[in-house]
Amino acid sequence: MKIRLYNTLYRTKQEFKPLKDRMVKFYQCGPTVYWTQHIGNLRAMVMADIINRTFRYLNYKVKFVRNYTDVGHLVSDADEGEDKMEIASRRENLSPLEIANKYIKIFEADTADLNILEPNVKPRATENIDEILKMIKILLDKGFAYKTDLAIYFDVKKFKNYNKLSHQKLEKQKEGAGSGDFYDKDKKNPQDFALWFFKRGRYKNALQVWDSLWGVGFPGWHIECSAMIRKFLGKTIDIHMGGVEHISIHHTNEIAQSEAVNNVPLAKYWLHNEHLLVNGKKMAKSQGNSYSLAELKERGFSPLTLRFFFLMAHYRSKQNFTWQALKAADKGLKKIYDFLERIKINDVKDNKTKKIDVKYKEKFISALSDDFNTPQALVVVRDLLKSNLSDGVKIKTILDFDKVLGLRIKENIYKKEEVPQKIIELANTRLKLRKEGKWDEADRLRQVIKNMGYEIEDTKDGFNLKRGDFI
């Protein structure tokens, strides 16, 4: 089945055709690690995880890279204001490295709780300064960049179709710098953006700086992603993903500098997830309306409830967060768990039922192949559970779907529990029969135990009992 995805570059759905057969090079703009990520940020990570899992489910080999920004991201998302890492460093009286380590640890605990697959590579900007400097040198040598006393800038007038992603007129493009106390009189165009800030002027006391051919300083935010993509995925990738807020500045600038260096497209497909809202307004720390995953857990919600909530809306749609909506998602997920737990033993005697239903699998794949339509995929799950299929087929099929959904269904319906005394007595009787050499009777009891939902494993000293894996 063909995968169709919405490409922001062309404002339309397109059939996915990988650069290399059955392989996907996938990059997602990761977090700036200066604070605990709120659940709006985590929604973006779950959405990328669904895309990653979908391709793997459909037997593609995926190389997924998600970065950590630990320097150079200024408060404005452009070239104004303070570095977010330095603000956090002063706030907590820790070094920028300690800040990065602290919040990466929290972020990775949150992504683990949300059952997000680990990326193949998780590069940090500060660990890739050499690659950044190589790209800046190429841009200077080619005439796409120029140096002032305060910074090295990319000259947007030198790059054809600079706004091909944002579709904005250049004069309406948000300025990359040029206001406040960072004003640079030698900057050629208001929209030019910094590749490298020198340790001068406003940034004379910068905490994170490196030597370069042109002077001590630190990189701009945009060049970091371009350098890490080039190093870990190559000059052109299949999919680049980020939030819709990145379209007009960050991703526009990534395209310009990467394609100026490499002379080939940066990415074939540009995917952008929409915002999580709270009472109709974008969730943001600056708005004071953000929640962390820890806060949800304190209120008694499982991280998987939040994941299920996210799956109820398409990644390109805004989603409104309320506690009532989260409670509804919690109820819906628990209904799935409870239903499957009730039926899990019903068909264990009939091995013929242990098959994935092809019809429902095709519907599930069809939903995912249509721009990763998770709400429609959940409709397929609902219809499957309401169907007249045998319980064994339902369980087998939905556990197959969970390779994409990531709701840890197997762990939740096959929970560890005490082995019933009756099973233990049968196992002891079987052990006695084995010692007496009555192998046929012992084998018969093994099957009886299996039909009751347990597997018996013979050991040197006796046996082990465990829940049977009937899926």
Q: Flag whether 349 is in a domain.
A: yes
Same domain for 242 and 125, yes or no, is yes
Q: Total domain count for the chain?
A: 3
The range of the structural domain enclosing residue 323 comes to 293-413
Same domain for 430 and 407, yes or no, is no
Q: Flag whether 279 is in a domain.
A: no
Determine the pLDDT at residue 347.
Answer: 52
- Indicate whether 67 pLDDT > 60: yes
Beta bridge partners of 193: 154
What pTM value is reported for the model? 0.87
| Least confident segment among 73-87, 209-223, 343-357 | 343-357
Determine the pLDDT at residue 168.
Answer: 84
pLDDT in tens, 111-129: 999 999 999 999 999 999 9
Beta bridge partners of 150: none
- Indicate whether 179 pLDDT > 90: no
Determine the pLDDT at residue 344.
Answer: 78
> Cα-flanking dihedrals φ and ψ of residue 151, to 5°?
-165, 170
Same domain for 379 and 446, yes or no, is no
Same domain for 313 and 243, yes or no, is no
pLDDT in tens, 408-457: 999 998 875 667 888 888 999 999 998 888 999 989 999 888 888 788 88
Same domain for 335 and 204, yes or no, is no
Asked whether 270 and 9 are in contact (CB, 8 A), the reply is yes
- Indicate whether 279 pLDDT > 70: yes
- Indicate whether 183 pLDDT > 90: no
Which band of pLDDT confidence, cut at 50, 70 and 90, is reported for residue 353?
low
Determine the pLDDT at residue 18.
Answer: 98
Across the chain, mean pLDDT equals 92
Q: In terms of pLDDT, which residue wins out, 169 or 203?
A: 203
Same domain for 14 and 128, yes or no, is yes
Determine the pLDDT at residue 418.
Answer: 67
Rounded Cα gap, residues 327 and 291, in angstroms:
15
Asked whether 264 and 142 are in contact (CB, 8 A), the reply is no
Determine the pLDDT at residue 282.
Answer: 87
In 142-216, DSSP assigns E strands to 145-147, 151-154, 193-198
Which residue type, as a one-letter code, is found at position 116? I
Task: Give percent of the chain above pLDDT 90.
Answer: 77
CATH of the domain at 373: 1.20.120
Determine the pLDDT at residue 301.
Answer: 96
Start-to-end CA distance of the chain, whole Å, equals: 25
Asked whether 73 and 110 are in contact (CB, 8 A), the reply is no
Same domain for 183 and 319, yes or no, is no
pLDDT in tens, 191-204: 999 999 999 999 99
Q: Flag whether 302 is in a domain.
A: yes
Q: In terms of pLDDT, which residue wins out, 197 or 289?
A: 197
- Indicate whether 265 pLDDT > 80: yes
Q: Flag whether 278 is in a domain.
A: no
Sheet containing 61-66, strands listed edge to edge, beginning at the edge strand earlier in sequence: 61-66, 23-28, 237-243, 267-273
Burial class (CB in 10 A: 0-12, 13-18, 19+), 175: middle
CATH of the domain at 107: 3.40.50.620
Q: What is the mean pLDDT of residues 384-394?
A: 94
| Least confident segment among 6-15, 162-171, 242-251 | 162-171
